[in-house]
Structure 1
Amino acid sequence: MESAKAVRRLLQSGGLKLERVIATKDFNQTVGTLGTTNCQILTYKFSNKCKTMTEKVLDAENWKLEALAVVKDIENHVKSITVLNGTDQQIYFNLTTIEGNDFCIELSGSGFRVAGKSYNQKSDENEDFFETPYSLLDHVSPSFHKSFGNELLSKLTDLSNKNL
């Protein structure tokens, strides 16, 4: 289990949010999340040496694609959301919650965080990262929970009606 702790520390230092480690005799399977992209890392044990395979880190264009997917996921639960320019390390959003509160949100390998409490403000030293846009919205927007729940209920009702 010491190797699982070492893998956890290594992944977290690289900005990967660890979800679970499955240890067997021959390999450890580590599943984590980089932004909203799932990554799977297999660490094979060869005597005392380890060989690690990881997915490629996102470049600026892929961060933009990731950001657009986030917008599509949450646009029904915010008043507005706009993707700003990013780098190969992170990308930003200007977001207005249902309640009318403005934020600048950062998406990086560490997850989502409030970078500023107004549009285009990227200077907040907030170190609270969230694994998903949903967990961040749940933290900053009390109305998000109800909005998300209502949409889910509506989709389940539609699905149920189709099966009747």
Structure 2
Amino acid sequence: MSRKCTDELSPEEGMEVDYQPEDLPMSSFDERCVEHGVKDMRLEAEAIVSDVLFAVNNMFVSKTLSNGLDLAFINVETREGKRYCLELSEAGLRVVGNTFDQVDAGLSAQYHETVYSLLDSLSPAYREAFGNALLQRLERLKQNGQ
């Protein structure tokens, strides 16, 4: 799959180039997450937790359920006090339980591509916290003249 990238040379001229994703340099995080061409879902789960912890009551990678290269479980408590167990796989994130460290085989929740989408669907308070954080960041950028 080819992506387009525009590298700004100056405000007047830009250069569009085609490149393959594998041609891109990997960040150190990406290098840690990929082992033999497979992303380590445990590391992905830890990154997800650190990314959105500010907008939920509690969130952590399960120590009880089996996590591995291809599957990880994340426990989350929303600001409304509801607890969920999330499954993270190559297919995305989905709710698999309605309490910490629980996988309910009868629960058929849809997959979400991002944790933001999943939490947005579960928690109005998450949506508000995320929106407030975004507004604060925009204000800081404005104050710094950017």
Give the TM-score, by structure 2 length. Answer: 0.70
Amino acid at match of 1:130: H
| Runs of 4+ in structure 1 over 3 Å off | none
Offset, 1:123: 2.0
Deviation string, structure 1 residues 105-131 (Cα, Å, up to 9, x no partner): 111000000010111111243240000
Tell me the residue number matched to 1:115. Answer: 96
Tell me the residue number matched to 2:116. Answer: 134
- Contiguous gaps of at least 5 residues in structure 1: 1-27, 31-38, 42-54
Structure 1 SS opposite 2:38: coil
Structure 2 SS opposite 1:81: strand
Amino acid at match of 1:100: G
* Structure 2: distance between partners of 1:70 and 1:134: 9
Tell me the residue number matched to 1:56. Answer: 37
Over aligned residues, Cα RMSD in angstroms?
2.5
**Identity, % of aligned positions:** 34
Offset, 1:29: 3.0
Amino acid at match of 2:128: K
Tell me the residue number matched to 1:29. Answer: 2
* Structure 1: distance between partners of 2:144 and 2:88: 37
Q: 2:46 aligns with which of 61, 68, 81?
A: 68
Q: 1:91 aligns with which of 46, 53, 72?
A: 72
Tell me the residue number matched to 1:159. Answer: 141
* Structure 2: distance between partners of 1:88 and 1:95: 21
Q: Select the structure that is richer in strand.
A: 1
Q: 1:80 aligns with which of 53, 58, 64?
A: 58
Deviation string, structure 1 residues 122-164 (Cα, Å, up to 9, x no partner): 1243240000000000111111111111000001101111118
- Contiguous gaps of at least 5 residues in structure 2: 4-19, 23-35
Offset, 1:68: 1.3
Tell me the residue number matched to 1:105. Answer: 86
Amino acid at match of 2:37: K
* Aligned residues between the structures: 115
